[in-house]
Amino acid sequence: MLTIEGSASLNLVKEQLDESLSIAESNLEQFVEEPDNDGRLKTAIEQFAQIKGVFRLINLPGASMLSEELELLGHKILARTSDSNNEKLLAGISNAIMVLMHYLEYVEVKKQALPVLLVPTINEIRFFLSKPLVTESIFFDLGENPERPPKEQAAEADIEQLLQIGRRLRHMYQVGLLGILRNESVSANAKLMSRALVRIDNLSGTKPLSKLWWLTLAVLEAVGNDLVQLNVARKSLLGMVDRQIKLVVTMGESALNKEPSKATVQECVYIASLAGPNGEYLKQVADLFKLDTGGLTDQNLRHEIEILRGPGGSVIRSVAQALAEELNHIKDSLDLGARGASGDQESFEATADSMRKVANTLVMLSLSKAAGIFKEKSDVVRNWSSDDIDPESDEFNKVADALLYVENSIATLSPRRGPDSSIASNTAEDAINDGISVTQLDDARTVVVGEARAGLSLAKRAITSFMDSSWDGMHLNNVPTTLKSVWGGLVFLQLHRAAAVVSACESFIDKKLIKDGSLTPTYQLMETLADAVSSIDYYLEGMEDNKPIGDGILEVAEESMRELGFPVAA
């Protein structure tokens, strides 16, 4: 059975989820105005219960957990509708709905579901519910929990020595911890804590709790080298280790014989995974737990959180649309001025003012490079006059290039989630070097996808006619040529995997159904072929609607061709 999870399946139900969240938000607002009308609150709770099930179905665990907490908080408010403290709780629900809407846009655009992004909001709701807060590693899959690597010198535990100097070593650890809690000299204090732990670890021998000292050394390595940022959860983890040292100092061997909890191990390994194998202990942890985060670092994660907190995709799209319209007016004005149709000084000054206005908006969207270029060129345009303007001059062409650069920068706003200036600049610069417009290129891609789908429709109709006419090969004569044109379009779109399937379909029809008369077609055989063609069509339909269905559908097409004896090379 094919399972399409996460971002791919979200595209199929996002409109319904957005509608459910909007209904919940609207009813919540009306409940705030009419606290006696608990029917509004009940409707919102029903929507939370409904979307919780959908999120579970499409495998978005973070969104599912947040929806469940919102449902519980709604019931808590419902049970005490006359309580004046409900105002804070209702504000928390309202904020969580906004975060959830942003998160769905994030998953849809980024094509990745990072449930850890929702942990702060989940904890905010759990605080209102008086429930224990979840750790940031809750969605991290630890996998197996093996024993720590053997020590270079497998010495026995020296309990007597540990009890003698344990208090001093704990004090050394606490001094460093105090500095870290105050965010003072983090690197130096992390080294001090590590020194104390190394001594404790050496005296602990191979006792089960020594695994905690080893994992904590990896965490301190990450903190000391500024590979991860200190937050409340990570400071709390280091504080918990201090309490474990205290237990060892007071209880001795019995405390050392206890295994660290799986939750603690998971938290340490999660931090190590965000730091990467950039140190002695971090590398040991990465090797033992076979860590592979796909390049996700703590810095990347903080950046993604900032994106999630930014303006919603609908706001960004509205701003991008308004800027695009303003750019069109500027281009029209410059075109008229270049042809002398409206080349007075006031016209050029008005155009320059419009350019500066666009530049100021770009600054607010963190597109500072595009803004700087446009401001510079606005001063050039302001000095133009109808007498000396030359549309063939190098100066005029540079203004046109600046317009194209800004247009491409604005075009990158809509498909991405939030103002990521680095992506915008790179895309714009690549396009400017090629002398093309991103908007026009997107339009061209849309046309090619449409033509490819039209070709597949012709092929499907021909296959249906072939089956209905008791295998009259005349209906298939033009299909190979049609599929070759579809293949060319997919190659142009750089959809090489889909193109390979279409090429295999073309080869099967040409060699087995047209040229090789020995093959007796069956309905099952033709249905398998139709599965492959239809799968490619569904794949392109998702692109056409800007709701990609994911590569899972391509696996269906490849399996179909493998069954027909025309396997697609990986």
Residues 361 and 397 in one domain: yes
Residues 28 and 91 in one domain: yes
Is 141 part of a structural domain of the chain? no
Residues 197 and 317 in one domain: no
Residues 471 and 556 in one domain: yes
Residues 387 and 464 in one domain: no
In 290-312, which ranges are continuous DSSP H helix?
Answer: 298-309
What's the Cα-to-Cα distance from 496 to each of 11, 501, 536, rounded to whole Å? 22, 9, 12
Candidates 192, 207, 208, 217; CA nearest to 159 is 207
Confidence class of residue 548 from pLDDT cuts 50, 70 and 90? low
- Say if CB 308 and CB 117 are below 8 A apart: yes
Give 403: exposed, middle or buried? Use CB within 10 Å, 0-12, 13-18, 19+: buried
Which positions ≥6 away from 477 have C-beta within 8 Å?
Answer: 514
Structure pTM?
A: 0.66
Which positions ≥6 away from 260 have C-beta within 8 Å?
Answer: 208, 209, 211, 212, 215, 244
| Domain harbouring 390, CATH code | 1.20.120
* Count of structural domains within the chain: 4
Q: Sign of the C-alpha dihedral, residues 440, 441, 443, 447?
A: positive
Single-letter residue type at 347? S
The answer to whether residue 439 scores a pLDDT higher than 70 is: no
Q: What is the pLDDT of residue 425?
A: 41
Candidates 141, 110, 121; CA nearest to 304 is 110
Is 137 part of a structural domain of the chain? no
Residues 192 and 78 in one domain: no
Candidates 2, 37, 233, 60; CA nearest to 135 is 233
Confidence class of residue 416 from pLDDT cuts 50, 70 and 90? very low
Give 59: exposed, middle or buried? Use CB within 10 Å, 0-12, 13-18, 19+: middle
What's the Cα-to-Cα distance from 126 to each of 42, 75, 122, 254, rounded to whole Å? 20, 13, 6, 35
Residues 420 and 324 in one domain: yes
Q: Sign of the C-alpha dihedral, residues 359, 365, 366, 370?
A: negative
Q: What is the pLDDT of residue 311?
A: 64
Q: Report the alpha-carbon distance of residue 428 to residue 420 in Å, rounded.
A: 12
The answer to whether residue 126 scores a pLDDT higher than 90 is: yes
Domain boundary among 109, 128, 147: 128
The answer to whether residue 419 scores a pLDDT higher than 90 is: no
Is 112 part of a structural domain of the chain? yes
Domain boundary among 287, 304, 321: 304
Q: In degrees, to the nearest 5, what angle opens at C-alpha 197 toward C-alphas 196 and 203?
A: 100
Interval 47-88: pLDDT, tens = 999 999 999 988 899 999 999 999 999 999 988 765 667 888
The answer to whether residue 210 scores a pLDDT higher than 80 is: yes
More confident site: 547 or 392: 392
Q: Token pair of 64, please?
A: 């599912």
Kindly state the percentage of the chain with pLDDT values over 70.
87
| Domain harbouring 455, CATH code | 1.20.120.160
Is 145 part of a structural domain of the chain? no
Q: Residues in the chain, how many?
A: 570
Q: What is the pLDDT of residue 340?
A: 66
- Say if CB 241 and CB 260 are below 8 A apart: no
Is 153 part of a structural domain of the chain? no
The answer to whether residue 33 scores a pLDDT higher than 70 is: yes
Is 2 part of a structural domain of the chain? no
Candidates 303, 325, 327, 300; CA nearest to 418 is 303
Which positions ≥6 away from 70 have C-beta within 8 Å?
Answer: 48, 93, 96, 97, 125
Candidates 218, 256, 245; CA nearest to 234 is 218
Is 152 part of a structural domain of the chain? no
Q: Report the alpha-carbon distance of residue 166 to residue 157 in Å, rounded.
A: 13
- Say if CB 554 and CB 531 are below 8 A apart: no
Interval 195-208: pLDDT, tens = 999 999 989 988 99
Which positions ≥6 away from 465 have C-beta within 8 Å?
Answer: 472, 475
Residues 105 and 12 in one domain: yes
The answer to whether residue 431 scores a pLDDT higher than 60 is: no
Interval 280-303: pLDDT, tens = 999 999 999 998 766 788 988 888
What's the Cα-to-Cα distance from 230 to each of 179, 186, 220, 521, rounded to whole Å? 12, 9, 10, 66
Interval 137-189: pLDDT, tens = 999 988 888 999 888 765 688 888 899 899 999 999 999 999 999 988 889 89
Interval 214-251: pLDDT, tens = 999 999 999 999 999 998 889 999 999 999 999 999 99
Range of the domain at 269: 159-304
Residues 430 and 545 in one domain: no
Interval 510-532: pLDDT, tens = 988 888 766 778 888 898 998 89
The answer to whether residue 443 scores a pLDDT higher than 80 is: no
- Say if CB 453 and CB 544 are below 8 A apart: yes
Output the DSSP codes for 191-204: HHHHHHHHHHHHHH
Q: What is the pLDDT of residue 422?
A: 38
A 10 A CB-CB count for 147 gives 11
Q: Report the alpha-carbon distance of residue 203 to residue 258 in Å, rounded.
A: 16
A 10 A CB-CB count for 470 gives 7
Q: Which of 24-28, 448-452, 548-552 has the lowest mean pLDDT?
A: 548-552
Output the DSSP codes for 330-345: HHHHHHHHHTTSS--H
Residues 248 and 381 in one domain: no
Residues 414 and 336 in one domain: yes
Q: Token pair of 118, please?
A: 């929702």
Single-letter residue type at 543? M
Domain boundary among 260, 285, 304: 304
Q: Which residue has the tokens 């409109």?
A: 15
Q: What is the pLDDT of residue 12?
A: 77
The answer to whether residue 500 scores a pLDDT higher than 60 is: yes
Residues 450 and 380 in one domain: no
What's the Cα-to-Cα distance from 451 to each of 274, 461, 505, 537, 543, rounded to whole Å? 44, 15, 18, 11, 13
User: What SS3 string covers 471-528?
Assistant: CCHHHHCCHHHHHHHHHHHHHHCCCHHHHHHHHHHHHHHHHHHHHCCCCCCCHHHHHH
The answer to whether residue 385 scores a pLDDT higher than 50 is: yes
- Say if CB 202 and CB 212 are below 8 A apart: no
Is 146 part of a structural domain of the chain? no
